[in-house]
Amino acid sequence: MQTENKLILAPLAGYTDKAMRDIALSMGADITVTEMVSAEGLARDGEKTKELLERADGEKRLVVQLFGPDKDPFHRCIPNLMEYNPTWIDINCGCPVPKVVKTGAGSALMKDKKKIREIVETLATETKLPVSVKFRLGWDSSSLNYLEFAEEALKGGAFSLTLHARTRAQGYEGKADRSAFSALSKEFGKDAVLYASGDIFTPEDAIECMEEYGMDGVMFARGAIGNPFIFRETREYLSNGSYTLPSISERIETAMLHYEKMKKYYGENIAGREMRKHAMAYIKGVPGASRCKKALTSAITEEEYRDAFSLLEE
């Protein structure tokens, strides 16, 4: 199905906070998704949980991703959820982390497809908001049930599906199986907005998923960490058939802007510590990166970040 939201910043726990979403939108992302948010935590009014739902300055639209084991916490979190006016609600059925799976949430939902239908139904009827589902190929290679799972989600009323084309057993390793995108689009391309996820690291990857495998859009995940330019590049590629890579100085200036935004949203101490992993990603492959990385391991202030980046060779 056609959508105006083709290029999405994927949910990335520990990364897609207000600052990263803000930068991605400024580089051309159509819309962004929160980090995964516990439906139970939200139902219980958890302050830390609610912080994850706050908008960045000027962020008009935001997808909220929730996780939970069955419809009960999803139902109970609705009053708190609605205060944040989500553009749509996404349900996490892909998280492989044992702490989450143990509770029956994340990719464990793929083991009992009846539950996804109930969860979607609960959210769609009680909130009247659009609901989407993000899931994997299946639990492991002997239980590839993504097509049946997608069908249940659609029966519950989901308007959109995102397939991360790996199994839970694969985690984030191994190659994403793009042939599954074709199977999904053949089966449900007319009924739902379909997004591809998994190994989308370049504009070429994104276009291939859309043009060759029939997906309506893509979610950039690890490919957008330290690389918000991928949104601009993909837009350029879609309109001209070519794109320009950022210069080293643009990478540094964007990383500094990212730091500034983190400082504005979270204060210098949190920004200083949390920015390090982003900064390391911004300088990946740049000559002098190893000296810079060493300096970044203790950087906190703007000056320390600037000094670390000055060790790069332009």
Q: Is 36 in the site for ligand FMN (CB under 6 A)?
A: yes
User: Minimum distance from CB of 264 to ligand FMN (Å)?
Assistant: 23
Minimum CB–partner distance for residue 32 and ligand FMN (Å): 12
Catalytic residue among 77, 93, 95, 209: 95
Q: Which residue among 30, 35, 118, 187 contacts ligand FMN (CB under 6 A)? A: 35
Nearer to ligand FMN, 218 or 252 (CB): 218
DSSP 129-149: S-EEEEEES-SSTT---HHHH
Distance, in Å, from the CA atom of 217 to the CA atom of 209, rounded to the nearest integer, reads 8
Interface size with ligand FMN, residues (CB under 6 A): 23
- Contact between 40 and 68 under an 8 Å Cβ cutoff? The reply is yes
Q: What is the DSSP letter of 52?
A: T
62-101 footprint of ligand FMN as x/- string (CB under 6 A): ---x--------------------------x-xx------
Distance CA 251, CA 41 (A): 36
Q: Which two tokens stand for residue 33?
A: 């998704």
For the question of residue 93 being annotated catalytic, the response is no
- Beta carbon of residue 110, minimum distance to ligand FMN (angstroms, whole number): 13
Q: Single out the residue of 63, 200, 255, 279 in contact with ligand FMN (rule: CB under 6 A).
A: 200
Q: Pick from 225, 230, 300, 231: which is nearest to 259 by CA?
A: 300
Q: What is the 3-state secondary structure (H, E, C) of 235-303?
A: HHHHHHCCCCCCCHHHHHHHHHHHHHHHHHHHCHHHHHHHHHHHHHHHCCCCCCHHHHHHHHCCCCCHH
Min dist CB 302 to ligand FMN, Å, is 25
Q: Is 41 in the site for ligand FMN (CB under 6 A)?
A: no
**Contacts to ligand FMN by CB under 6 A:** 10-15, 35-36, 65, 92, 94-95, 134, 164, 172, 176, 197-200, 221-223
Residues with catalytic function: 95
